[in-house]
Amino acid sequence: MVFSALWVVPIFFLSRLLNCLWFQDIADASYHVRQGNPKVIPNFSRWTADFLLSILTQALFLIQALLIAKLPIKGVGWLASQLHMSFLYALYSFEYRWFNIGWELPRRLGHIENNWPYYTGFGLPLTILTTLPESYFDRGCLFSILFPIFIISANEARPIANKSSIQLNLFAPVVSITDLFFKKTLGRELSKKPS
């Protein structure tokens, strides 16, 4: 477990850096074809805060998924972890689009939690395909090959925004930890959901 976390989390940060560099061009081109020019978050400091908050939240959510997988009830931990990874892969894919239309992190997370059936289904194929290989390296390679397809699919998708009768607040624990971190370091919470 500790080895997995120590191995996966640094790869997560490296992949996020590479995603920013390589996949951003794909996302921008795909968005431009369908929507035109992106609307950006108004000021640089707010954009930077949202970006850093997003990376921290996603890293903690990945750790949460790894911990959930270790639940001692046969099959439950694995299923719950797959649900988490589906959410995370949907967030990865749609984040480029939502960032281009100016949605900040609390709105992005809330949208996934409120419309979880759609986003679970969207992220599930990538989740299943990346769990097939046994090697982390092979999983990472497969993810890198398939992820651009999901970015383009997210830009082309027209999700039906029907609030589910049950909201899955899977991001709540990591949002609380992130808020606590920023409250202790900056004296304020950054991830409050819009009213």
User: Quick check: is 194 in a domain?
Assistant: no
User: Quick check: is 193 in a domain?
Assistant: no
Identity of residue 1 = M
Indicate the pTM of the whole model: 0.81
pLDDT band at 79 (very low <50, low <70, confident <90, very high): very high
User: Quick check: is 138 in a domain?
Assistant: yes
CA atoms within 13 A on the CB side of 63: 17
Cα separation, 86 vs 92, in Å, equals 10
Residue 51's domain comprises: 2-186
User: Quick check: is 191 in a domain?
Assistant: no
User: Quick check: is 111 in a domain?
Assistant: yes
pLDDT score, position 189: 63
> Structural domain tally of the chain?
1
pLDDT score, position 40: 63
User: Which ranges of the chain would DSSP assign to H, the alpha helix?
Assistant: 2-18, 24-35, 44-68, 76-100, 105-114, 116-131, 136-156, 172-186
DSSP, collapsed to helix, strand or coil, labels residue 115 as coil
User: Quick check: is 57 in a domain?
Assistant: yes
> 10-14: long-range contacts (C-beta < 8 A, 24 or more apart)?
11/136, 11/140, 12/58, 12/59, 12/62, 13/55, 13/59
**Digit-coded pLDDT (tens) for 112-156:** 999 999 999 999 999 999 999 988 778 887 888 899 999 999 999
User: Quick check: is 79 in a domain?
Assistant: yes
**Digit-coded pLDDT (tens) for 9-48:** 677 677 767 766 777 778 877 887 877 777 666 677 877 8
Q: Check residues 20 and 102 and name the one with the higher pLDDT.
A: 102
Instruction: Tell me what the mean pLDDT of segment 45-68 comes to.
Output: 89
User: Quick check: is 81 in a domain?
Assistant: yes
